[in-house]
Homo-oligomer: A and B are copies of this chain.
Amino acid sequence: MPTRSPKYCPVVRALDVIGDSWTILILRDLFLDGARKFQDLQESLSGVSPNTLSVRLKKLETHGIIERRFYEQHPPRAEYVLTDRGRELGPVMKSLRDWGNKQKG
């Protein structure tokens, strides 16, 4: 049986990175759309404050789950994309979506 000590429990380790609803919605958008600008995300995640969105994006970037890609240099404009490591979250997102779909009726 896996240990549940916060240091070793894999579920805790996962939650430390993605255990936040805004974070999951950011990932949802990047999985669905491939690349999103800050403003795209802000519009999609209605109700998120720019500061909260910024903090969540930085955390995902720090963990190597997303990266910024510059699509214009003058002035510099960036969009966010999933890294290969971020794509490994596919099964988590899929299982959430599948379960959510069952909650309809």
Question: From DSSP, what is the main secondary structure of chain A's interface residues?
Answer: helix
* A89 CB within 8 Å of chain B: yes
Are B10 and A15 in contact, with the CB atoms below 8 A?
A: no
Asked if A51 is an interface residue, CB under 8 A from chain B, the answer is: no
* 24 A-B interface contacts by CB (under 8 A): A4-B32, A4-B44, A9-B28, A10-B101, A11-B25, A11-B28, A12-B25, A13-B100, A13-B101, A13-B104, A14-B96, A14-B97, A14-B100, A14-B103, A15-B100, A19-B24, A88-B102, A89-B99, A91-B98, A92-B92, A92-B96, A92-B99, A94-B95, A95-B95
- A residues whose Cβ falls under 8 Å from a Cβ of B: 1-2, 4, 6, 9-15, 17, 19-21, 24-25, 28-29, 32, 44, 46, 88-89, 91-104
